[in-house]
Amino acid sequence: MLIDCAAYVNGVRQKPIDIEAISDFLDSNPPSKSFVWVALFEPDAATLAKMQEEFNLHELAIEDTNRGSQRAKLEEYGSTLFLVLHTVEHRGDEFVDGELHVYATDRFVLTVRHRAQLDFKRVRSELEREPEFLALGAGAAVHALIDEVVDRHFPLLENLEDRLDLIEETIFAAGVDRRAAAEKIYDLKRDTICLRRAVTPLVDVAGRLVAHKHPIFSEMLRPYFRDVLDHVIRIDESLDNLRELENSATQTNLSLITLQETEVTKKLASWGAILMVPTIVGAIYGMNFKHMPELEWVFGYPFALLLMACGSAALWWFFRQIKWV
């Protein structure tokens, strides 16, 4: 699906152009830093073939975009840069991974979204309100796209941290459902891994963009890419810390489960020992032998009951002192 297709001259958006007219604009020898920006969403093979024809894209890059499910990377095919960025969106109760493929030279920028519902119209609109920055060329558009992808990760990181804080607050609460807590920790770790898959490879990609000598990266743009790299590193380090805390929460929850099971075992053992006293006394006096001590004693029955009660009470007091009951 075609989202937008427009040419930019001196940072100013021109009238929208058709896909067939892209090559005509590029062949018209436009002013320096002029470029065409095309945005696609889950295009079919025919549309991508048309893009390949108009922009002279490498068949291997087009093959990657047709297949989707690529790792985050930066590759160079002649004068064309090919970037694969992973986007993460919060839908319902889980994180969903998507992809943004970017083809760029000093004459065009082509973006293709896969499995990503959030578009980049706002990025384009903000750039169009800053023609001085957009006049720096296609590199300005590439920076804005990468910067937006990275900035969208910050709210997701905050969501993970808030969920972990909530788990840590409730994990020690009395009567908490340990199974439910374990499920929440598992869901949290799953979403953390999803975000890590998007962020960790981006550290290398952003670092390479800072040092890249491609014509679209003018010296005026390098500080902006260094800022993106700084943000990516900060998110990646926060995810590392978050992973350690999640592992600690998992181990703590397992330890509390074990402790809870131990407490139950202690209580059962204590009451078993307490009930053993009347069982033993009753068993001895219930054997009905003719020659037994106190068999015909008038106080024998009350004495047996008192012995059971005192023995059980003594054991209850003992287990109470060692906090088993």
Condensed to tens digits (0 to 9), the pLDDT of residues 103-157 reads 998 888 999 988 877 888 888 888 888 888 888 888 899 999 999 999 999 999 9
pLDDT of residue 10: 87
Kindly list the distances between the CA atom of residue 256 and the CA atoms of 127, 163, 291, 309, in Å, as whole numbers in the listed order: 53, 20, 55, 35
Q: Where exactly are the structural domains of the chain?
A: 1-136, 259-321
Distance CA 46, CA 251 (A): 52
Share of the chain above pLDDT 70, in %: 89
Kindly list the distances between the CA atom of residue 146 and the CA atoms of 60, 102, 151, 152, 307, in Å, as whole numbers in the listed order: 22, 10, 9, 10, 82
Count other Cβ atoms within 10 Å, centred on residue 103.
Answer: 24
Which residues fall within 8 angstroms of residue 35, CB to CB, at 6 or more apart? Answer: 7, 8, 105, 106, 107, 108, 109, 137, 138, 141
Distance CA 264, CA 196 (A): 40
Q: With 70 as the cut, is the pLDDT of residue 324 above it?
A: no
- Does 3.30.460.20 match the CATH number of domain 1-136? yes
219 band by pLDDT with thresholds 50, 70 and 90: confident
Kindly list the distances between the CA atom of residue 222 and the CA atoms of 68, 202, 215, 228, in Å, as whole numbers in the listed order: 29, 17, 12, 10
Token pair of 158 as six digits: 């905050």
- The gap from C-alpha 165 to its chain's centroid, in whole angstroms, comes to 15
Kindly list the distances between the CA atom of residue 208 and the CA atoms of 2, 83, 202, 217, in Å, as whole numbers in the listed order: 30, 11, 10, 11
Distance CA 138, CA 155 (A): 28
First to last CA, the chain: 69
Determine contact, residues 216/138, Cβ cutoff 8 Å. yes
Tell me the whole-structure pTM to 2 decimals: 0.76
Q: Is 158 exposed, middle or buried (0-12, 13-18, 19+ CB in 10 A)?
A: exposed
Determine contact, residues 106/26, Cβ cutoff 8 Å. no
Determine contact, residues 85/100, Cβ cutoff 8 Å. yes
Determine contact, residues 305/294, Cβ cutoff 8 Å. no
Please write the tens of the pLDDT for every residue from 73-114.
888 888 888 999 988 888 877 888 888 999 998 888 999 988
Count other Cβ atoms within 10 Å, centred on residue 310.
Answer: 11
Please write the tens of the pLDDT for every residue from 272-296.
777 777 777 777 666 665 656 666 6
Highest mean pLDDT, choosing among 28-37, 261-270, 298-307: 28-37
